[in-house]
Amino acid sequence: MQNLPKGTLMKKPMVSGEKKKRHGCLTSWLILMLLASALFIILYLARAGYPQYSPDLPAWALPVLITIETIQIICTIALFKWKKWGFWGYCIICAIAFITNIWLGAVITAIGTIFDAIILYAVLNIGKKNTGWRNLN
């Protein structure tokens, strides 16, 4: 690390004995992600009960969207447990959601899924010493 040019951003990994502490913005964002995914699952299940209100929606769409939201919940829980794979899983599922929503013609929703991942990355990197990203294993 001593050979790095001055000004290079290199975050030191956590020492295993250190207590991991999540800052308020990260906690709030993760809770919001959980609530949003749960709400979307409820809305998709309700929509599945009334197919006459969305006749243009392909039969595969609701099961795929419910699966996407379920995986997002799993990845968010992993982030609560400081698992780095939760972040990468969330990014991958956001990319899948982006493609799915573009295919369904929901362009605004598709763009929102990309911003979801960007905001998560930004919130994980808030702070100097106590970043969420540095705490992920």
Q: What is the pLDDT along the chain (137 residues), one digit of tens a residue?
A: 455 555 544 455 545 556 778 888 999 999 999 999 999 999 999 988 887 777 788 989 999 999 999 999 999 999 999 999 999 999 999 999 999 999 999 999 999 999 999 999 999 999 877 788 888 89
Contacts of residue 9, defined as CB under 8 A and 6 or more positions apart, other chains included, come to none
Please give the model's pTM, rounded to 2 decimal places: 0.82
The answer as to whether 8 is a domain residue is no
Contacts of residue 29, defined as CB under 8 A and 6 or more positions apart, other chains included, come to 119, 120, 123
The answer as to whether 13 is a domain residue is no
State residue 39's pLDDT score. Answer: 97
The answer as to whether 55 is a domain residue is no
The answer as to whether 53 is a domain residue is no
Q: How many domains does the chain have?
A: 1
State residue 86's pLDDT score. Answer: 96
Which amino acid makes up residue 76? Answer: T
State residue 2's pLDDT score. Answer: 52
The answer as to whether 129 is a domain residue is yes
The answer as to whether 18 is a domain residue is no
- Alpha-carbon span 119 to 31, nearest angstrom: 14
The answer as to whether 106 is a domain residue is yes
The answer as to whether 109 is a domain residue is yes
Q: What is the DSSP string of 19-32?
A: PP---HHHHHHHHH
What domain range includes position 120? 24-44+60-135
